[in-house]
């Protein structure tokens, strides 16, 4: 997938009338949408610099087939979520960026193996966090690592992202999810 530069990102943000803060996170959902694979990107924007990392913005096959919520698996709706994440504990286990404000998800309830932007919209606090998969190894498959969270498959890259957030001096973080453009 293409890693966009700041000029391209600013142009895309302008099309949607999104803010472009000095420090923020951006996710790019792949148009390929390869089932159960980390085929998306998450970027940390700091001024005129962007660092890209491999991730998923979709739930894994396990949670698409075995719904945690009877309304359907959570698939984050593309959009800008201002100050919606903060540093906290993911499931009480390790530091990550945890949801702290309402966001909107699609509820994909068709129980197939592809995460889709379909189904009813649902807005609230769902524990849609930005975290890592395996703590020691790069993960190839999403499986149970995401039930709707934005998940980095490389623990070293996740540590870089989290450290950049901590060093930013911010208490809350804006995350913008875009579809590949």
What is the secondary structure of 73-115 as a DSSP string?
EEEEPSEEEEEEEEEEEETTTEEEEEE-S-EEEEEE-S-SSS-
Identify the residue whose tokens are 């149970």.
Answer: 144
List the structure tokens of 107. Answer: 């509820």
Q: Which residue has the tokens 């039930």?
A: 147
Alpha-carbon span 171 to 166, nearest angstrom: 8
* Cross-strand bridge partners of residue 179: 29
pLDDT digits (tens, 9 = 90+) for 62-101: 999 999 999 999 999 999 999 999 999 999 999 999 999 9
> Cα 166 to chain center, whole Å?
18
What's the pTM value of the predicted model, to 2 decimals? 0.97
- Residue labelled with tokens 């099309």: 15
What are residue 87's phi and psi, to 5 degrees? Answer: -70, 130
pLDDT at 44: 98
The predicted structure's pLDDT at residue 169: 97
Of the candidates 2, 43, 13, the one whose C-alpha atom is nearest the C-alpha of residue 173 is 43
Q: Where are the domains of the chain?
A: 6-179
On whether the CB atoms of residues 68 and 105 are closer than 8 A, the answer is no
Mean pLDDT for 118-145 is: 97
> pLDDT tens digit string along 4-42?
999 999 999 999 999 999 999 999 999 999 999 999 999
Of the candidates 117, 157, 120, the one whose C-alpha atom is nearest the C-alpha of residue 30 is 117
């Amino acid at each position: 997938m293409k890693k966009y530069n700041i000029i391209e990102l600013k142009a895309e943000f302008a099309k949607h009338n999104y803010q472009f803060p000095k420090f923020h996170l951006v996710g790019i959902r792949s148009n390929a949408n390869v089932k159960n694979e980390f085929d998306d990107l998450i970027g940390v924007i700091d001024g005129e610099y962007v660092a890209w990392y491999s991730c998923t913005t979709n739930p894994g096959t396990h949670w698409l087939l075995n719904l945690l919520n009877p309304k359907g698996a959570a698939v984050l709706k593309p959009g800008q979520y201002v100050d919606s994440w903060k540093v906290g504990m993911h499931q009480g286990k390790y530091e990550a960026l945890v949801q702290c404000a309402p966001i909107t998800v699609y509820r994909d309830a068709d129980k197939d193996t592809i995460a889709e932007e379909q189904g009813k919209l649902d807005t609230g606090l769902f524990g849609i966090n930005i975290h890592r998969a395996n703590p020691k190894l790069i993960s190839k498959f999403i499986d149970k690592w995401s039930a709707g969270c934005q998940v980095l498959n490389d623990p070293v890259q996740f540590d870089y992202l989290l450290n950049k957030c901590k060093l930013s001096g911010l208490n809350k973080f804006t995350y913008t999810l875009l579809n590949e453009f």
